[in-house]
Amino acid sequence: MAEHQLILTPNIHRADDFYAELLAAHDGLDKTESEALHARLVLILANHIGDNEVLSQALAAAQPSVPADDDRP
Amino acid sequence: MNKIFEVPLYSYERSEDQDRTTPARHPVVIIGAGPVGLAAAVDLAQQGIRVTVLDDNDKVSLGSRAICFAKRTLEIADRLGIGDALVDKAVQWNLGKVFFSDRKVYEFNLLPEKGHQRPAFVNLQQYYFEDYLVQRVRALQQEGAPIEIRGRNRLTAITNHDDHVTLDIETPEGSYALEADWVLACDGAGSPTRQMMGLDFVGRVFEDNFLIADVIMDAEFPTERWFWFDPPFNPGQSALLHKQPDGVWRIDLQLGWDIDKAKEKLPENVIPRIRAMLGPDIPFELDWVSIYTFQCRRMEKFRHGRVIFAGDAAHQVSPFGARGANSGLQDVDNLCWKLKLVIDGAASEHLLDSYDTERVFGADENILNSSRSTDFITPKSDISRLLRDAVLDLSEQYEFARPLVNSGRLSAPCSYVHSPLTSTDALDGPARSAPGSPCPDVPLEDVFLLPQLGDRFTLLTIDAEAPEHINESGITAQRLSLSCADDTTQALRERYMGAAEGAVYLIRPDQHVAARWPTFDDDLVRAALRRVIGKEHDL
């Protein structure tokens, strides 16, 4: 079902704006603070998604060894 | 004034068995008079089985030790006749506060579900729990029950045979030998029985040390559970403050693994730690201090022929979640009715293998939960700490992060859904009372449901017809008839019926559901009864 499927096709309307905002969020932060911000961000986004299946797919998709596109059986 | 744990409660007395030339044979010998061994003794004695408890000591346990007793334990305690004594003495609490570094990040209320006789949790020193069980043993003796505690009787050798066990026992007046049909080893985490039999724990997961202190103070701390992550007074570690009866406060300070235990236990090292925690102006007195070391692991099997292990002797968990003593009581609850049927000849000894299956499953669930808590409390890598701290930071501001905070998932009984004794669910009813589950309590007209169950098989009918008794393969299930028409709180409907119009539940003596159907069917009920005593083998 689509609702339990991680979206891996373009889904952010203004991609460049988002990316700039993501970078800007780290302005003035050192490495440790940036890492903490990322950790908080991951948790906030994960809660927003909420769906355990989608979260598992996202964790798998983020693995360095797994191709981040289709070919899912 | 003598403290309760300084007074001998079962002093050494010479037994006739010590003067015999051939060893006496006992049906059941229990090694260890802790909460688990004593509970098993009471449970069996209440069912008319002769039981002998051996302990190398003659007193209740020193210091508070297990302090959180969960609702399921209180329900089992009701069946053992000590529920009221426990609850009357214990401290009840619902509010918890969580601190991170130097600040409170949030508080929570357990908000226990209404319509249960017993509260979600109470705090009580382990020595009271043991004391009430010893008093219960004395009361049973007054009634003529064949139950005996032999203090300062230390097991020195044990040998398993096909149909019995031989035991060598050391006393202040020398040694003697005993034979037992069955031995329950309830002799704690260091179990001498386990060591003598050359059996070891498997699956070591985690090791840590805790400084555990009982502190007497008059301070106006509220009756709440306070848990600190990485506090200034114990950097990088955790701390817990919890109230017990008699103005005694329990403090747990995590110390880490690589420490000098003897040095940490010295008052000159303990007192400054506690003063830093409580603040400089609060006078307190140290009642008891101990260093507690834990592992998360279990024996591969809990049954070894005629010797059966229960409680910490069989499995050990971290203290987070109060899953030690509470799971030990569930072991007893699971084992005693089966042992009774085997001793009576109503079931074959293979029924006891289901104790192994069911309680190993329970132990694994407890080990999983307490290992997860341990991973949160003591992060093992930089990224694990980063995520943990992120959760705690967010929890201060955002409610969503609070369920991720893990300072212990409080003990709840497991469901035996995959047990060979459990029948397939045949009712479209609530998940919480599906076969395998522990029965949820329900308020009836002027009593509660759970005290009406237990010690026997019950056929609970709700708006359904059934015979008053079913006799099958040497056991009897007695009917308990209820109706949703009397269910003013709707708890019966919500917990046992759901959308169903009628329900028939077969309930085990340990108050777990064995099977359920929408209506009574003689063949199906009989098959489920045979299955629950190990006599029905599915094709």
CB distance A40–B400 less than 8 Å? no
Average pLDDT for consecutive 10-residue bins of chain B (539 residues)?
Answer: 78 96 97 98 97 95 88 97 97 93 92 91 94 98 97 98 97 98 96 94 74 88 91 92 92 90 90 90 91 87 97 90 92 98 96 97 93 90 96 97 93 94 97 98 95 94 98 96 95 97 98 98 97 80
Does residue A69 lie in a domain region? no
pLDDT reported for residue A68: 52
Q: Does A39 touch chain B (CB under 8 A)?
A: yes
Does residue A29 lie in a domain region? yes
CB distance A39–B400 less than 8 Å? no
| CA–CA separation, B128 and A60 (whole Å) | 51
pLDDT reported for residue A18: 98
Does residue A58 lie in a domain region? yes
Residues of B in contact with A36 (CB under 8 A): 386, 389-390, 393
- The 3-state DSSP class for residue B436 equals coil
Read off the pLDDT of residues A46-61 as tens digits, 9 standing for 90 and up.
Answer: 999 999 999 999 999 9
CATH number of B207-295: 3.30.9.10
CB distance B390–A47 less than 8 Å? no
CATH class of B4-90+111-198+297-366: alpha beta
CA angle B328-B38-B75, nearest 5°?
A: 55
pLDDT reported for residue B205: 59
Q: Which strands make up the sheet holding B469-472, listed edge to edge? A: B469-472, B475-482, B457-462, B503-507, B513-517
Alpha helices in B313-399 (DSSP H): 325-343, 351-377, 382-397
pLDDT reported for residue A29: 98
**CB contact burial B166-181 (16+ within 10 A = b; e otherwise):** bbbbebeeeebebbbb
pLDDT over 70 percentage in chain B: 98
Choosing among 2.40.160.40, 3.40.30.120, 3.90.950.20, 3.10.20.30, the CATH entry for B431-532 is: 3.40.30.120
Read off the pLDDT of residues B140-160 as tens digits, 9 standing for 90 and up.
Answer: 999 999 999 999 999 999 999
| CA–CA separation, B91 and B100 (whole Å) | 26
Top residue of B388, B392, B393, B396 to mutate, by most chain A CBs within 10 Å, is B393
Residues in chain A: 73
Min Cα distance A49 → chain B (Å) is: 12
CB distance B393–A36 less than 8 Å? yes
Instruction: For residue B398, give the chain A residue with the closest CA.
Output: A44
Does residue A33 lie in a domain region? yes
Q: Nearest CB to B389: which of A36, A42, A44?
A: A36
Residues of A in contact with B403 (CB under 8 A): none
Does residue A53 lie in a domain region? yes
pLDDT reported for residue B539: 41
- Total domains in chain A come to 1
CB distance B386–A44 less than 8 Å? no
Q: Nearest CB to B400: which of A35, A42, A47?
A: A47
pLDDT reported for residue B294: 78
Domain boundaries, chain B: 4-90+111-198+297-366, 207-295, 377-404, 431-532
CB distance A36–B390 less than 8 Å? yes
| CA–CA separation, B528 and B505 (whole Å) | 10
Domain of A6, in residue numbers: 2-62
Read off the pLDDT of residues B74-107 as tens digits, 9 standing for 90 and up.
Answer: 999 999 999 999 999 999 988 999 999 999 999 9
CB distance A43–B394 less than 8 Å? yes
CB distance A36–B394 less than 8 Å? no
Min Cα distance B387 → chain A (Å) is: 6
Does residue A30 lie in a domain region? yes
Min Cα distance A2 → chain B (Å) is: 25
pLDDT reported for residue B198: 95
Does residue A28 lie in a domain region? yes
CB distance A40–B404 less than 8 Å? no
pLDDT reported for residue A3: 78
Q: Using alpha carbons, list the distances in angstroms from residue B115 to B123, B141, B491.
A: 21, 35, 7
pLDDT reported for residue B1: 44
